Amino acid sequence: MTTTSSAHLTQLWSRGCEFLGTKYAILGGAMTWVSNHNLVAAISNSGGFGVVASGAMTPELLNAEIERTKAITTQPFGVNLITMHPLLEEMIDVCGKHQVRHVVLAGGLPTSASFARLKNHGCLIIGFAPALVIAKKLIKMGVDAIIIEGCEAGGHIGPVSTSVLAQEILPEIRDIPVFVAGGIGRGEAIVSQLQMGASGCQLGTRFVCAHESPAHHNFKQAFIRAQARDAIMSTQLDQRFPVIPVRAIANKASKEFISVQSNVIREYDNGSLDLKEAQLKIEHYWAGSLRRAAIDGDIENGSLMAGQSVGMVTKEQSTAEIIDELVNQANQFLTR
């Protein structure tokens, strides 16, 4: 690393660092069951920006999680809230109570009431934009930054790749910071997005095997063994029975899911199930499966949500080592 390359990288992501209040414009993707206080604080303490995944937490659980995070870091961190949460207003108020500066809204377009409530608490709002038209709509609503996430990402995904989204959105959005996510696992990729106009990048899969991650040993080993091609998108067999697109490492459960769909479709076609019953049977297949794998360690019957960058996860490391590695790769790339 040279002083010149370091200064160049600092300049490239200066907008993102200023917005986040961090040394590096690297966000930790909010991963349910994984992005808890230990991992979030470790990312923030290492110069990045950790984000608590509230998932299906209650306001009481979120309150406790924020308190635990604040106890082990004085650095900035954010909270990810799901817009469809039945107690979203209370979740927002918990963030306001703790003076959480940055709130990431995921799971769909937020309402104007949610925006107003967050603004009243002094929060900066980060929204997900799966298309240029959504990005522009969010800006009109008053969002302070956006994240564009391609289908290479793990977990719930959209239909468009990171590279295409970046080309579609980055040249058009200059008023607010834009962070890029999905399939990013090395520093060189971060630099390429910054050079296209991004303010920073979000990574999730790379942090699953951090020492500070609460993921089960079996879950981490599945990531270390996997290649990019193993992280596949969930299969939908029939348009009458929609399947929410999710990217995860293929395992026994993902293969059985295809059989389950086939059997349910057969039962519906022969009149054994009505449409709603059949749809619910398919929807409920994955209930609790992420916790089963990530926390309980059942990697055959649980969901191994992972992005295609999982092939770049080759060992367990400390969070600080992962971030240092990413920054060094970025600087070496700029030097070359």
> What's the sign of the alpha-carbon dihedral 31, 34, 36, 39?
negative
For the sheet containing 246-249, what is the strand order?
155-156, 246-249, 231-233
Segment 297-336, tens digit of pLDDT: 999 999 999 999 999 999 999 999 999 999 999 999 999 8
Structure tokens at 333: 């790339």
Cα separation values, 78 from 27, 126, 158, 199, 320, Å:
9, 10, 23, 17, 18
The reported pTM is 0.95
Average pLDDT of the residues in 97-121: 95
Whether the per-residue pLDDT at 217 is higher than 80: the answer is yes
Give the per-residue pLDDT at 284: 85
Average pLDDT of the residues in 130-147: 96
Segment 30-58, tens digit of pLDDT: 999 999 999 999 999 999 999 999 998 99
Percent residues over pLDDT 70 in the chain: 99
Residue scoring higher pLDDT (283 or 307): 307
Average pLDDT of the residues in 122-144: 96
- Bridge partners, 81 (sequence order): 105
Q: Tell me whether residue 66 is exposed, middle or buried, using C-beta atoms within 10 angstroms of its C-beta: 0 to 12, 13 to 18, 19 or more.
A: buried
What is the residue whose two structure tokens read 């039945």?
86
Whether the per-residue pLDDT at 5 is higher than 90: the answer is no
Domain ranges of the chain: 3-214+314-335, 227-305
Give the per-residue pLDDT at 336: 86
Whether the per-residue pLDDT at 160 is higher than 70: the answer is yes
- 3-214+314-335 CATH choice from 3.10.110.10, 3.20.20.70, 3.30.450.70, 3.40.50.800: 3.20.20.70
Burial 206-218 (b: 16+ CB within 10 A, else e): bbbbbebbebbeb
d(CA 125, CA 210): 27
Residue type, 319: T
Residue scoring higher pLDDT (282 or 310): 310
pLDDT band at residue 2 using 50, 70 and 90 as cut-offs: low
Answer yes or no: are the C-beta atoms of 52 and 44 closer than 8 Å.
no
